[in-house]
Structure 1
Amino acid sequence: MSITLKNVSKIYKTGDVETVALKNINLEIKDGEFIVILGPSGSGKSTLLNVISGLDTPSTGEIYFNDIKISDYNEDKLTKFRRNYLGFIFQQYNLLQNLNVRENVEIGSAVGKNPLGIDEVLKSVSMYEERDKYPYQLSGGQQQRVSIARSIAKNPKILFCDEPTGALDEKNGKQILNIIQVMNNNLKTTTVVITHNTNIAYMADRIIKMNSGVIVDIIENQDKRKASEILWA
């Protein structure tokens, strides 16, 4: 599923003060592409991800998924769209503490139109043996793998990742990135990752660099690497 943004801006208002978070963004993300969005804090990258994914609405401009114009959707339609087509991985794991690993993943599977097999998903993230454990019994890296399993179990068309390795060490971070990369390669899931770690950009098909709410550069990656091959910062 492709994504197209046309002249998208986002302005936040607090009293009489206006803050321009995004300014006239034009961008096309191709079906099956792996995109990394880079930029310092306050550059607009998180706002861009939220607006693209329907977690927030643009102040002006148009957003299309294939030929579906979601920028005109109300909250009910956006909720249904996200549930049917999108997956999310956040820095926070957001697991339900009273459910075990398998039950947490079942939540993702239950809302998918064409879900993947839960056991196969758990095996793909190396969490099948821990399927009966609860979140408090897992390490941070294991919890993030369960979070990913929950997202991919619904078999989303597009996967949005907001600093997915921000709280992890190098070993666990690379394991998580490998899972995301394998899903992109094998299932052709369009993948959008925002990160502070510039080395993760080497995994991408294209790198979107942002600053002060605008796209300052788009780089075609000529040296695409596996997760295991990138340096860590």
Structure 2
Amino acid sequence: MGIVLRQVSKVYKTGEVETSALKDIDLTIKEGEVLIVLGPSGSGKSTLLNVMSGLDTPSAGEMYYNDLAIHKLDQRGLTKFRRKYLGFIFQQYNLLQNLSVKENIEMGAALSDHPLSIDEVMDAVGLTDKAKKYPSQLSGGEQQRVAIARSVVKNPAVLFCDEPTGALDEKTACQVLELLEKMNDLYHTTIVIITHNPSIALMGDRVIKMNSGIIHTVYENVDKKRVGEIKWG
């Protein structure tokens, strides 16, 4: 069934000032799909990712992962939920600088009860020949590939990506997106990509457009593109 949100809201309070970041969100993330959440800065898309992944808690509403009521979990329960079912890729790579490429990926495998083969994932992301190198010896795109491999090797049911290409040039960004596409093809991982780039929306099975904390549009891509087919403006 995937992840289901029902009337989910998020309000931040600073003193007596309240800011509504999400307003009555209804959404179902389907198992195995590539879902793109599109919107400008401040639209609420990153808040939505944080809430539906259990990194933050909703102010109101209900959230479910299959039969698990996420909104009822305490912090320990949320940590267990994230560890068991989810993977994360952020704009910042968050690699451990004193560990090699393979050792960073092994850290991801250690968090899972049923990890994928480390060597298989390294081969899939094109890092086999970089296994013994350290993050400081890699390009930005290579570091992002390590971060993706570290998340994918966990064999997560859902992979959340928050602006995963935001710090990359166009060529490297395409390589990263092709890698995410490959992971969805190989492992049928549900992938949620948060972005402000409308070109990336073309690779999604479905696209959500957000603004001011509200989902304005949800549509299916009847002419879904492979990353290699997208013309980047």
TM value normalised by structure 2: 0.98
**C-alpha RMSD of the superposition:** 0.8
Aligned length: 233
In the alignment, does 2:120 pair up with 1:116?
no
**Residue type of the alignment partner of 1:172:** T
Who is 2:220 aligned against? 220
In the alignment, does 2:193 pair up with 1:171?
no
CA–CA separation in structure 2 for the residues paired with 1:176 and 1:69: 33
Equivalences for residues 21-60 of structure 1 within 5 A: 21-60=21-60
**Residue type of the alignment partner of 1:224:** K
Equivalences for residues 72-111 of structure 1 within 5 A: 72-111=72-111
**Residue type of the alignment partner of 2:40:** P
Q: Percent identity?
A: 62
CA–CA separation in structure 2 for the residues paired with 1:138 and 1:63: 39
> Structure 2 unaligned runs (5+)?
none
Offset at residue 75 of structure 1 (A): 0.5
Who is 2:152 aligned against? 152
CA–CA separation in structure 2 for the residues paired with 1:183 and 1:97: 25
Q: Deviations over 1:30-83 (max 9, x none)?
A: 111110000111110000000000000000000001111111100001001101
**Residue type of the alignment partner of 2:7:** N
SS of alignment partner, residue 128 of structure 2: coil
Off by >6 Å, runs of 4+ in structure 1: none
In the alignment, does 2:71 pair up with 1:71?
yes
SS of alignment partner, residue 106 of structure 2: helix
CA–CA separation in structure 2 for the residues paired with 1:65 and 1:188: 17
Q: Deviations over 1:168-198 (max 9, x none)?
A: 1111111111111111122111110000110
**Residue type of the alignment partner of 2:222:** Q
**Residue type of the alignment partner of 1:44:** G
SS of alignment partner, residue 40 of structure 2: coil
CA–CA separation in structure 1 for the residues paired with 2:66 and 2:231: 35
CA–CA separation in structure 1 for the residues paired with 2:100 and 2:190: 29
Who is 2:126 aligned against? 126
SS of alignment partner, residue 114 of structure 1: coil
Who is 1:5 aligned against? 5
CA–CA separation in structure 2 for the residues paired with 1:221 and 1:18: 36
**Residue type of the alignment partner of 1:127:** L
CA–CA separation in structure 2 for the residues paired with 1:10 and 1:150: 30
SS of alignment partner, residue 173 of structure 1: helix
Offset at residue 231 of structure 1 (A): 2.4
CA–CA separation in structure 2 for the residues paired with 1:191 and 1:55: 17
> Structure 1 unaligned runs (5+)?
none
SS of alignment partner, residue 198 of structure 1: coil
Offset at residue 220 of structure 1 (A): 1.0
**Residue type of the alignment partner of 1:6:** R
Offset at residue 122 of structure 1 (A): 0.6
**Residue type of the alignment partner of 1:92:** Q
In the alignment, does 2:208 pair up with 1:208?
yes
SS of alignment partner, residue 201 of structure 1: helix
